[in-house]
Each structure stands twice: as structure tokens, then as C-alpha cells.
Amino acid sequence: MPISSKTQVFCVLGHPIGHSLSPAMQNAALAEMGVDGVYVAFDVHPDALGAAVAGLRALGVVGVNCTIPHKEALLSLVDALSDDAACIGAVNTLELREGRCTGHNTDAPGFLAALRAEGFDPSGCKAVVLGAGGASRAVIVALARCGAEVQIVNRTHDRAQALAEQLNGRLGSTSIEAVCREPAALGSALRNADLLVNTTSVGMAPEVDRMPAIPVEALHSKLFVYDLIYNPLETRLLRTARECGARGQHGAGMLAHQGALALQLWTGIAAPVAHMEQVILKTLSAREQELRASLDNG
């Protein structure tokens, strides 16, 4: 649609943000939905986050997505929090209406929707989650609410332990615990697990040869591995898991589902999640071809 004085503005905040696929995905969705809107990306340094949110309020921006490193910092910059955002302790979506800013978290339901789209039902499963950051919080809460037993593994065990205690307290549960990274303990957890989720950035482009430090021999054919990374689509973790007979999937589905939920929150219209995921895949493919061409010419 042509941009006019009536065009609504949506955006994503992050630092850095140049790699983000959200503008391509969300603009394609807005066009498909027939919404007169445009979606842009802003690189906002953490020191400028408060000023950026104030500016967005003043400018009448309708909806905002937020990514690394702002998800936890936004908790203190909003007027209200949804139940999910308050429980998770992280915000990935801002809803701006009549000068009031509400923080939401669509990562948790987006993650569950992506899992179920792959035919995996997390209800009552045993899950191992790698990482203890903002994305990890959403994944853990989503799984615990499905009755899953969740074990957190993090580079710093004390942080994993603190997160488990915090989220158990908020959920009124005892289903979340921290597991030591030591190979014997982690190997035992993986052998008994139905689901392994990587919420860390280990293996993300350009460091595509890296993978989380896990005992590979503990991976098995009954395990489903979900890597939140989507660039590359085939991480070393996913490749290794499949070689061990496990099923696996990249994070493009979660990105599409959480983005679709944000659009529906802002517009009241169901977003075309399948179309959004296809745009993600096509954009990634185009970027990969550009990189190969530059390497060939270099």
C-alpha cells in the first residue's frame, strides 16, 4: 500500500538490529492483511532505550517488537504488564494505545505454536533448556504451564539455579530445576528427555561451526531438538542431532508465530503465519545466495 499521512507505524527495537528479519516478515503480513501500515527497524543502544520508548509514545507508533538486549530492561519502562510478561520477566512486544504502554510477551505462546506445528506436543514432557536469558524464560514458562518437567542448563550454574527458583515461585510449581553442565549430569538429563531446546546464540551466523557443549552420545532417536536460531536454518546442533537419529527444527516457526501474535494484538486481525514463515525462509535463502556470490567474487 502507498504510504500516506494515515499509515500506521510499527517497529522493532534491538542492538544490533541489521540482521533482523522482522521488517520483511511483518511488512509482507501487513500487505496480506490489507492493513495500511509500515514496519521498520531501529537500532537502539541500551543507554537510549528509555528515550526511544518515550519518543515512540510521542510519535503515536502503534506497536513495537523488542529483541536483544532490551527484553528485560523494558519491564521498568511500561505502564502495565500482561500476565505472561510479568511471569516471564521479559517483554518482547509493546502495545501503545491512547498514550498508555503495555508490555506483552508473545515468545511463550509463539514457541508452543511452533512446536505443535511440527507435531510435537509438549504436554507433560521432560525438557532440557539450554540458556538462562530472556528467550529461555519464555520457553521455560511455556513448557512448565503445559505440565512439562524442565531442566535448565547454563554456562553459569548459579544463574540457572536462581532462574529456576524465581520461575517456580511465580508459577507455584516445583517442575523447574537447574542441572550442572558437567557431562555426566547433563548426559543423564538428555537421555531421559523428550525435548531439547537451545535458547543460546551458540551456532548462530557467522559462527556456524560452533554448537552448545553437550555430550553428543546422549542424543537419541526419541528426542526432539528445537533450536531457536534460524540463521543458519541448519545449525551444527540440528545437524548433529539428526545424525544421532533425533528429530529437529530451526527457529523460523517461532519467529513467525510470535510475530503473528503481535500483529493480531495490535490490529485485531489474525495474521497469515504460514505466509510470514515463507517470507523468512525466502529472505534467508536470498541472503545466503548473496553471501556465496560475494565469496565467489572475493
As given in the structure block, the three cell numbers for residue 63 are 506497536
The one catalytic residue in 6, 71, 126, 222 is 71
Residues 6+ apart with CB under 8 A from 193: 126, 127, 128, 151, 223
Helical spans, DSSP H, in the chain: 22-33, 49-59, 83-88, 107-117, 134-145, 157-171, 183-191, 236-243, 252-267, 273-297
Sheet holding 63-66, edge to edge: 37-43, 8-14, 63-66, 93-97, 100-104, 80-81
* 118 secondary structure, DSSP code: T
Nearest to 258, CA basis, from 10, 26, 43: 26
Q: How crowded is the C-beta side of 158, counted as CA atoms within 13 Å?
A: 0
Give the separation between CA 107 and CA 20, rounded to whole angstroms.
Answer: 16
Q: Quote the Cα angle for 184-186-192, to 5°.
A: 105
Count Cβ atoms within 10 A of the Cβ of residue 76 and give its class: 0-12 exposed, 13-18 middle, 19 or more buried: exposed
* 216 secondary structure, DSSP code: G
Phi then psi dihedrals of residue 210, to 5 deg: -90, 160
Indicate if 71 belongs to the active site.
Answer: yes
- Residues making up the chain, counted from first to last: 298
**Dihedral through CA 229, CA 230, CA 232, CA 237, nearest 10?**
40
**Residues classed as catalytic:** 71
